[in-house]
A and B are shown apart, each in its own frame.
Chain A
Amino acid sequence: MFRRYAPRLALTLLTVFFLDLTDLIELHKNAADFKLNLDNDFSRMFSELLFGFHRIDTGLNASDIAQLAFLAAAPLFLGQSISADLSISGTYYFTRQNHRTRWYVRRSLSLLACSLTVSLFTCLLNAAMTSYFDVNGIPAARIALVMLSVTMCIFVLVMLSNIIGIFFGSVIGLAVTVVYAGANILLTYSPMRQISLVFNSAFLPDEGYADMSVKLGVNTGIAAAVFAAGLAVVRKRELGLVNAEQLF
């Protein structure tokens, strides 16, 4: 099943690569400034590379839009996999076998593997870019923590898009997911930033390992809740009644 998602995963990775490329160009243009500001703060540089260059004092800026594009990439290409399977081919699948739980778990695991691949690719790409600029090494523990958090965050967004897509179609599913991610990015710079659930708020420079672990825990909890909600929806869904794609 993971192989079935390979083309969509490749498109996601390509999008992430081009988004990172824009970061690299930005770095080249302002290399002296970045060296000056970030040379002794490799973790911050890594975070900035991963999530875009933020100016905390000005709130939303172009880098946030780049980050939103990064967050939207996986739901855009992978956010219809379960919902489309259920509404298109679920009918012929489930008239042969009614193990919906097993079917859903297998697809969710495939999407988790895809999320992990996107996260791994992003982190390795950014680690390579950081070393290219000759800053100090990044602790492996920090990279692992970042990678797991990014994985959970992407997984939540992809699953959310799928579950909403089951009811309202893939366009609405993606739209709601992007709005959710955008709202969380905005919250990152507000006084209420602790309730921002996307990963970027976990990696602001003044936050340490403990905060990152808490964020990872919260995101894992949310992923588990979204997974459980999806399971309930898939098990109770009446098939062939309405094709959600035809509603819009």
Chain B
Amino acid sequence: MNRIDLENVSKTIRRSEVLKNISLHFESGRIYGFIGRNGSGKTMLFRTVAGLIKPTAGCVKYNGQTLGADIDIIPRLGLVIENVGLYPEFSGLVNLRMLAKINSLVGEQEIREAVSRVGLDPDDRRTVRKYSLGMKQRIVLAQAIMEKPDVLILDEPTNALDEDGVEQIRGIIREERERGALVLIASHNKEDISSLCDRIYLMKSGEVTEAGE
């Protein structure tokens, strides 16, 4: 059982407090949803949990180990973050191969499976630069799930996808939960959140204001 604990996490950027004293805990095998308006702090919270940025105050713990002190990153983390991407000059498969090589947890077969699973053709030789927005979203999701991570952090995972694509991604997220992954999702799509999540948090101005099952 994996567990993430946020203890009084605050983050200030350029004198603006973007996260305010947030304390939450998450457990594996469950999906946690975050809703809120643009700029409410969802993405910043996810980046803090992922260890990409350090909280100004408080700490994030993974299985009792503090990020930034005991460990630098959550081991076996799958991440989809908006506004960051893959190398545009390579195909999706080549990008995934390069990332998979870092830890060598999966081989060619698993990488190709992940690409197929999100509805893309592993043999498509087009570069990521030539992908549509929806295809980029799918390949980024493939990089997140290809190594069967213990923790999945998905920021707007269904952005730019058509209806079939949204349903397919929802299916994948459910399968990941069944596998035992701890999943955090932020989405503007209320249906995503209501149909997928075991627990829902509402964020407003850097604070978690409400929670519901």
Query: What 4 additional pairs, Cβ within 8 angstroms, besides A96-B99, A240-B47?
Result: A92-B143, A98-B51, A240-B50, A243-B83
Q: Which of A79-97 contact B (CB under 8 A)?
A: 87-89, 91-97
> A246–B87 Cα gap in the complex (Å)?
16
CB closest residue in chain A, given B155: A240
Q: How far is the CB of A153 from chain B (nearest CB, A)?
A: 28
Contact of B87 with A96 in the complex, beta carbons under 8 Å? no
Q: Is A238 an interface residue (CB 8 A)?
A: yes
Contact of A246 among B83, B88, B99, B143 (CB under 8 A): B83
Interface SS of B by simple majority: loop
Contact of A241 with B103 in the complex, beta carbons under 8 Å? no
Q: Would you mind naming 12 contact pairs between A and B with Cβ atoms under 8 Å apart? A: A88-B87, A92-B79, A92-B143, A95-B52, A95-B77, A96-B99, A238-B52, A238-B54, A239-B47, A239-B53, A240-B84, A241-B52
CB closest residue in chain A, given B44: A241
Contact of B84 with A92 in the complex, beta carbons under 8 Å? yes
> A96–B76 Cα gap in the complex (Å)?
7
Contact of B51 among A89, A95, A246 (CB under 8 A): A95
Q: Which 7 A-B pairs have the closest CB atoms?
A: A98-B72, A238-B53, A239-B52, A91-B84, A96-B102, A240-B52, A97-B102
> Within 8 Å CB of B74, what residues of A?
95
Contact of B102 among A88, A93, A239, A243 (CB under 8 A): A93
Interface size for A (C-beta < 8 A) is 18
> Within 8 Å CB of A93, what residues of B?
99, 102
Contact of A240 with B53 in the complex, beta carbons under 8 Å? yes
CB closest residue in chain A, given B84: A91
Q: How far is the CB of B135 from chain A (nearest CB, A)?
A: 17
**B-side interface residues toward A, CB under 8 Å?**
13, 47, 50-54, 72-74, 77, 79, 81, 83-89, 99, 102-103, 143
> A7–B52 Cα gap in the complex (Å)?
31
Contact of A241 with B53 in the complex, beta carbons under 8 Å? yes
> A165–B72 Cα gap in the complex (Å)?
25
> Within 8 Å CB of A238, what residues of B?
52-54
> A162–B88 Cα gap in the complex (Å)?
18
> A240–B51 Cα gap in the complex (Å)?
10
Q: How far is the CB of B5 from chain A (nearest CB, A)?
A: 19
> Within 8 Å CB of A239, what residues of B?
47, 52-53
> A246–B85 Cα gap in the complex (Å)?
13
Contact of A241 with B13 in the complex, beta carbons under 8 Å? yes
> Within 8 Å CB of A96, what residues of B?
73, 77, 99, 102-103
